[in-house]
Structure 1
Amino acid sequence: MLIIGDSCYLSLNEQTTYFNHPLLRRNILRFREYQKMIANSAMTKNTMVILPTALGKTIISLLVCINTLYNNREKRILILAPTRPLVNQHRNSFVSCLKLLDDQIAMVTGKIPPQARTIVWNKKAIRLVFSTPELVKNDIIEKRLSLKDFFLIVFDEAHRAVKDYAYTFIAEKYMQHCTHPLILGLTASPGSEKNKIQEICNNLFIEHLEYKTEEDADVKQYINAIDVKWKWFDLPPEYHYVKSILKTMLKEKLDWLVSRNIIKKDSRWIFKRDLITTGEQLRYSLNVRLEKERPSLYFALIQQSIALSLMHCIELMESQGFYSLWNFLNRTQLEESRSHKLLLSDHRIKEVKGLIEQLKIEHPKIEYLIKILNERFDSQFNLNGNSNLTDSASEKKSRVLVFTQYRDTAQHIVELLNKSKIKASRFVGQSEKQGDPGMKQEEQNSILEYFKEGDFNVLVATSIAEEGLDIPEVDLVVFYEPVPTEIRHIQRRGRTGRKNIGSVIILAAKDTIDQRYLDVSRKKIQKMKSVLSSTNTYLNFKPVNRLIVKPDPMTKYEIDSLNSLLDKFEERTKIQSLSSSKNKTLHHKIVYSSEDHTMVQFKRQVERTARKIYSVVTIHGNKGLKIETIHNVPGVNDELTDAALKMLKKLKKIKIIGRKVIISDNVAKIRGQIYNIEIEKVVMGKALVLVNAEWHAILHHYDYAGPRELIRKGREFKAIGELYHDDDNLNIRVKQIV
């Protein structure tokens, strides 16, 4: 087995050591000892890699993948990530580093139709497949995909492998059907609970865990200091007044639930989780109780729902501000649920809405955020002397990433920052949420590119920017609110301090949900570090029984041929003297081509199959051909037949009558005589033919309506046509093959 990194070489340009491998582009990945050691340990057993953000989890997976591809020439690799943008990012990262042809790499997402996906899953020449877990799960269930030929599966953001998330289903099916399974899980933070970490390891059949902290000796040199500050805010008196109204309303609902023994707790210590659990229990009881008991249960469910909405209102106001609370109440007004109608009909809610509209007081976090960003960019402007920075200076422009939990808040922050002459843009997920359409992948890619280029300085993002996405280096991360989980806290924090010293500012309102969330996340982070430091001793790893596959490495000839093909391809696609705007367009073209490339290949194959089917059916004339027979025609791809027939039918080239396929023209009546035609000679643009075994005639290309396959010397066929004279020559016009 070739061990990654055993033969590194020194770059004469930068005097820096790089990883060296036959399938890795030269001078592309700087060598790190800990990455080599982790990659080597992950090549023989199912491994979970836990690394802080920016320490190269993707690089470790890439090293494992290239070694697997090199040593197992017939095997394939599946790389999974939770979202399409992440899948696209991984695909682009691998393409930029690996020596593989475009046809050997595929990205499979929901944008690609099932028939095209089936082709990818069954085409063994495709060595690397990138996809999302839900799609893979569905294709396994629909029997479009078998995992038995995949030598390795990479699970990115592996902390998601809990409960019924698709990762657990895929891992189970993989272990059932593959005789030589190998799994690599990647995460920055698996959680702080031993039980949860054990569950993730069980669900992914992990045999070994690799964990590095920022304090480890072999990692420390690659870590930049991150200055973390907390900024506390007192809520304005107006906020306290609105809060008192909402808390009074909430207490009434909680007391009602407690008095009827629906919740068995002091109302002062009832939290959101308690209300959610109560709602689940009430809904279950509604399904199993007698009809006469249901009205009281339904009324209790309404009280629980109103209490939950009020609790959410208080949290929104405390943590986000009047703007987000106002939007929530307006959206609630559009909903049909009885609980929301009852809530909004309360005169106190009407008073709250009136106060918000009248006062228009921003949360103190907003004012502080605008202040510190203005100071930051003003000082930079003075430092540089003017705003017309050169390209190199543009690289040094300060970039700020603001995280917020809610899309409403993100939009509001962006609007206020832009009003304050701070260039900002919103970055949210693709799905539609509560009337917000989200962002298409192309839009997300463009925004990240413009952020990287310095077209704007501040990116205001929701949780989409927490997991894995290749956000450009930022020197300041702002948490608009604390997050209650250690996983999200670590992911947010990891967005700075990658190349230089970074800063994190966490904004929190005193004596609110912010303070509780901040305390919770701090404790969980400390607990996670303590738990992970002894994982390999307390975790119960079960060894996997796998067939040992003898390495079948690529030959020197194969490597040389691959290099030659790549050189030719890159020479053809080399583009010189592009302006910066054209470069940007080219970048987007490359970024967006991942799924399109798979679709173009599929369409070409369908068109090729359609032409073949059309030719074969044409020869059979009026009789047509059974669909079952078409499936068995040599050169017709069985998996593409249905798509090809659908295409021909849409183009009105064929008609399907019962189980028979007939050329459309053969069904319609065409004027003319039926002639027997024999091809005697084919020359440029025409053929010399013998008609009815007695007349010689010329068949011009513009007079022929039929498949090209018939115009060959010695071929004979019947056709509807007509004879005519031109310059004393007898010609025949073929209208339809019979």
Structure 2
Amino acid sequence: MLPTGLGKTIIALLAIARRLQEYQGSVIILSPTKPLVEQHATFLKTVMNLPPEEIIVLTGSISPQKRSSMVKDARIIVSTPQVVENDLRAGRIDLSDIVHITFDEAHRAVGNYAYVYVARQYQLQCKDPLILGITASPGSNSDKIEEVCSNLFVSKVQVRTETDPDVKPYIHYRELEWRHIKVPVEIGGLKRSMELVLENRMHQLAEMGFVDPARKYLNKREMLNLQAQLQGRLSRGPDQRIYKAISLVAELFKVDHAIEIAGTQGPEALAKYFDRLEHEASSRSGSKASRRLMDDVNMRHAIYSLKEMDISHPKLEVVKEIVSDQLLENPESRVIVFTNYRDTSELVTDRLKEVDNIRPVRFVGQASKYKDTGLTQKQQVDILNEFKSGKYNTLVATSVAEEGLDIPATDLVLFFEPVPSEIRSIQRKGRTGRKHAGKVVVLVAKGTKDEAYYWSSRRKENTMNDKMRQFKSPALSSTGGNPETNFIEDDVAVEDAPDTSGTTTPQKQLLDYSSSQIQIYVDRREIRSGVAQALEAAGDKVIYSTLNVGDYIVSDKVAIERKTDMDLLDSIIDKNRNLFRQLSDLAKAYDRPVLIIEGDNLYTGRQIHPNAIRGVLSSIATDFGIPIINSKDEVDTAAFIHIMAKREQEDKKRSISLHGSKTSMTLKEQQEYIVSAISNIGPTTAIKLLRHFGSVENIISADIESLLEVDSVGPKTAQYIIDVVKTEYKG
């Protein structure tokens, strides 16, 4: 753990060189984004005393067969983790001869991120593994830091902060200014109209007995908790009061977000949000919460007042002033302005264009959203190159520029608003002060959520530094000598790499029922699911294939369709559902089809009468003759599949084979099928996504911020979509 710009890549270089000197195998360096991968590869080819063809970059654009041949002759492999994960799952890469792996931006090694799987397989396959994780911002939560260390099998931790005596001399001064901005009274009037809406919804919830009558507002955490409690109460049976309460909470979320935009972003950004909300309310897939809000007299008053308003948020003028002053002082400066919202990035760019000495350019993600087209990857690369060359001197960026953007000449970083995440805050600040002194300015709108995020950010960064010191390993303080190596040009010295020979391999997650390996065919759409990972962890041979029917095939007679409770409920709501066609195809193709329904919210996840759900289940069991198994979670599902595979292959000595075909679908149904195939997305949500973005292509290129604008898409679902579409295709 080392502050940004102090040579984490150099440390990785030293570890790589030492391992290559001592062993005959290869090394891998993994980085989360393609620009970082290219950056590392270029650097390594410059400093390593190796033929350029022995330092390779693996990407999804290279065919799987070619990747396999490239790896055989490579000494250094630079890749995104998804490519390596996919090749591991397909059996195209073997880690037994990999003598070292560096995990760049190691704080990402949590949950189901590809780092976790690659590290686990490395530990299992390699006799003498050595892992190095590098990061500037591991987080302020002890549990998360411990999870990263556990997932990467890290037993020794080296930490440096900017105040450590052996680091401080090399730190470039970075001035930090928090500038507090007074919000105009007109914006306060807008907020008051919307606060009346909040108070009305809170009053209704209080009358129903779900909130304390003395409470006027709930913060986001409290709203999430209330939402979860209401969903839990539905498990006792359908209750129209609870359904209404859940819808009221949805309204609270939307109004709370509007109030935040008004205070922190300004009237123009709020107008864009209202435009999207009205569009959602008028669409066929729009929620009742959106329609009720747009019909509310106080919301209509806020919208009318907004249209009559002729003011901007004062932050816009402050940004213009700060950037202009910087460029007047040093015309060769480079400036980055960070904004949380794409709408604001457009407003800031337009405002900066009004000043002669400012040459701004907007830098956003690839997703296209309602009335806003994203950038292609080529456009992003071109913009960065033009920013470096000086065609543009100011980059107005969203979160896409927080990580991996290495522009040494950045003199000023300006936050349009604070960010409550200590990781994101550190990544943003790290864009300046890398090669020389720099300045960071954070704008805080008084009396808004900016102030809460201001205190949260400062507290979390201080907490993170304290936690990092607690994780220091005394064993790393005393290192060996500095033997020379023939792998780094100019006789760069290398310190001893940490010894991880005592690291133990992880325990299997499922019972090991037999000595022989069970084979299970898994549909490629399930490649990132926890089910497939649990089966692999149990020692089953998972073979990924594009299955005509079913999700898991365990013999020539038994095929399994897996549905989460939300998937099944969405298929009931959607008039164009394809559930029965899927199950019909499954029953025609296999003698023993099985449906597994995963999750505990079958009767509480949607506002559907229990009898409707029972009717669907009855039809599946009686009309199609398909037995239904309920599982608790992904691990429980994997356990059922494992046992079925064992019975079929070991007890009954049946072979495993693929057969069957699907009934042809219309183009519209195929589009819905493609989107609904992503985990946590049912047909209803798929239709909402398609109506919002207009095409499958636009959904695939969407970023998290854009996805979250779609009703029924929360942070977890948005991340699932990003994981699926950003994973390199493996052939």
One fold, TM greater than 0.5?
Answer: yes
- In the TM superposition, residue 262 of structure 1 has moved relative to its aligned partner by 4.1
Whether the 8 Å CA contact 1:402–1:478 is kept in 2: the answer is yes
**Equivalent residue for 1:66?**
17
Distance 1:239 1:538, change over 3 A: farther
Distance 1:435 1:107, change over 3 A: farther
Distance 1:261 1:189, change over 3 A: farther
Distance in 2 between the 1:438 and 1:283 partners? 36
Which residue, out of 444, 454, 460, partners 2:390? 454
Whether the 8 Å CA contact 1:465–1:471 is kept in 2: the answer is no
The reply to whether residue 238 of structure 1 matches residue 186 of structure 2 is yes
- In the TM superposition, residue 115 of structure 1 has moved relative to its aligned partner by 4.1
**Equivalent residue for 2:333?**
398
Whether the 8 Å CA contact 2:156–2:473 is kept in 1: the answer is no
- Three-state SS of the structure 2 residue aligned to 1:129 is strand
The sequence identity of aligned pairs, in percent, is 39
Q: Deviations over 1:557-596 (max 9, x none)?
A: xx9xxxxxxxxxxxxxxxxxxxxxxxxxxxxxxxxxxxxx
Whether the 8 Å CA contact 1:448–1:472 is kept in 2: the answer is no
The reply to whether residue 76 of structure 1 matches residue 21 of structure 2 is no
**Equivalent residue for 1:533?**
469
Distance in 2 between the 1:330 and 1:89 partners? 40
Distance 1:554 1:61, change over 3 A: closer
Whether the 8 Å CA contact 1:414–1:460 is kept in 2: the answer is yes
The residue type equivalent to 1:235 in the other structure is V
Whether the 8 Å CA contact 2:5–2:435 is kept in 1: the answer is no
Distance in 1 between the 2:487 and 2:194 partners? 73
**Equivalent residue for 2:244?**
299
Of Structure 1 and Structure 2, the greater strand share is in 1
- In the TM superposition, residue 433 of structure 1 has moved relative to its aligned partner by 5.0
Alignment of 1:318-717 (within 5 A): 318-335=263-280, 336-380=286-330, 397-421=332-356, 422-432=358-368, 436-536=372-472
Q: Deviations over 1:516-563 (max 9, x none)?
A: 101111111222222222323799x9xxxxxxxxx9x9899xx9xxxx
**Equivalent residue for 1:107?**
57
- In the TM superposition, residue 277 of structure 1 has moved relative to its aligned partner by 3.9
Whether the 8 Å CA contact 1:477–1:504 is kept in 2: the answer is yes
**Equivalent residue for 1:127?**
75
Distance 1:446 1:236, change over 3 A: same
**Equivalent residue for 2:39?**
89
Distance in 1 between the 2:392 and 2:40 partners? 25
Q: Deviations over 1:338-378 (max 9, x none)?
A: 22222222233232222222213111110111122223333
Distance in 1 between the 2:242 and 2:60 partners? 41
The residue type equivalent to 1:485 in the other structure is S
- In the TM superposition, residue 69 of structure 1 has moved relative to its aligned partner by 2.3
**Equivalent residue for 1:625?**
none
- In the TM superposition, residue 416 of structure 1 has moved relative to its aligned partner by 1.2
Whether the 8 Å CA contact 2:193–2:301 is kept in 1: the answer is no
The reply to whether residue 273 of structure 1 matches residue 221 of structure 2 is yes
The residue type equivalent to 1:76 in the other structure is S
- In the TM superposition, residue 311 of structure 1 has moved relative to its aligned partner by 0.9
The residue type equivalent to 2:5 in the other structure is A
Distance in 1 between the 2:257 and 2:463 partners? 28
Q: Deviations over 1:152-194 (max 9, x none)?
A: 1211111122233222222222212222211111111111222
Distance in 1 between the 2:191 and 2:95 partners? 55
The residue type equivalent to 1:83 in the other structure is T
- Three-state SS of the structure 1 residue aligned to 2:457 is helix
Greater Cα shift, 431-440 or 245-254: 431-440
Distance in 2 between the 1:453 and 1:188 partners? 27
Whether the 8 Å CA contact 1:85–1:441 is kept in 2: the answer is no
Distance in 1 between the 2:230 and 2:330 partners? 57
The residue type equivalent to 1:317 in the other structure is A
The reply to whether residue 176 of structure 1 matches residue 124 of structure 2 is yes
Distance in 1 between the 2:267 and 2:258 partners? 10
Distance 1:251 1:127, change over 3 A: farther
**Equivalent residue for 1:251?**
199
The residue type equivalent to 1:343 in the other structure is L
The residue type equivalent to 2:143 in the other structure is N
Distance 1:346 1:111, change over 3 A: farther
The residue type equivalent to 2:321 in the other structure is K
Q: Deviations over 1:643-693 (max 9, x none)?
A: xxxxxxxxxxxxxxxxxxxxxxxxxxxxxxxxxxxxxxxxxxxxxxxxxxx
- Three-state SS of the structure 1 residue aligned to 2:170 is coil
Greater Cα shift, 191-200 or 237-246: 191-200
Q: Deviations over 1:273-315 (max 9, x none)?
A: 22234445555666x554x43x444332221211111111111
- In the TM superposition, residue 142 of structure 1 has moved relative to its aligned partner by 3.4
Distance in 1 between the 2:272 and 2:466 partners? 41
Distance in 2 between the 1:309 and 1:97 partners? 52
The reply to whether residue 165 of structure 1 matches residue 113 of structure 2 is yes
- Three-state SS of the structure 2 residue aligned to 1:376 is helix
Distance in 2 between the 1:232 and 1:353 partners? 27
Distance in 2 between the 1:221 and 1:110 partners? 42
- Three-state SS of the structure 2 residue aligned to 1:508 is strand
Alignment of 1:190-229 (within 5 A): 190-229=138-177
Provide TM-score, normalisation by structure 2: 0.61
Whether the 8 Å CA contact 1:404–1:463 is kept in 2: the answer is yes
Distance in 2 between the 1:323 and 1:348 partners? 19
Distance 1:555 1:213, change over 3 A: closer
Distance in 1 between the 2:84 and 2:158 partners? 27
The residue type equivalent to 1:131 in the other structure is S
Distance 1:355 1:555, change over 3 A: closer
Distance 1:437 1:154, change over 3 A: farther
Distance 1:343 1:137, change over 3 A: farther
Distance in 1 between the 2:170 and 2:177 partners? 22
**Equivalent residue for 1:189?**
137
Which residue, out of 307, 313, 318, partners 2:258? 313
Distance in 2 between the 1:133 and 1:431 partners? 22
- Three-state SS of the structure 1 residue aligned to 2:249 is helix
Distance in 2 between the 1:434 and 1:301 partners? 27
Whether the 8 Å CA contact 1:483–1:517 is kept in 2: the answer is yes
The residue type equivalent to 1:442 in the other structure is K
- In the TM superposition, residue 322 of structure 1 has moved relative to its aligned partner by 1.4
Distance in 2 between the 1:369 and 1:289 partners? 54
- Three-state SS of the structure 1 residue aligned to 2:94 is coil
Q: Which runs of 5+ in 2 are unaligned?
A: 281-285, 477-482, 492-731
- In the TM superposition, residue 265 of structure 1 has moved relative to its aligned partner by 9.3
Distance in 2 between the 1:132 and 1:470 partners? 18
Distance 1:414 1:297, change over 3 A: same
- In the TM superposition, residue 240 of structure 1 has moved relative to its aligned partner by 0.2
Return the index of the structure with the highest Cα Rg.
1
Q: Deviations over 1:495-530 (max 9, x none)?
A: 222222211111001121001101111111222222
**Equivalent residue for 1:661?**
none
- In the TM superposition, residue 444 of structure 1 has moved relative to its aligned partner by 1.9
The residue type equivalent to 2:224 in the other structure is I
Distance 1:263 1:170, change over 3 A: farther
- In the TM superposition, residue 268 of structure 1 has moved relative to its aligned partner by 4.4
Distance in 1 between the 2:169 and 2:162 partners? 9
- Three-state SS of the structure 1 residue aligned to 2:86 is helix
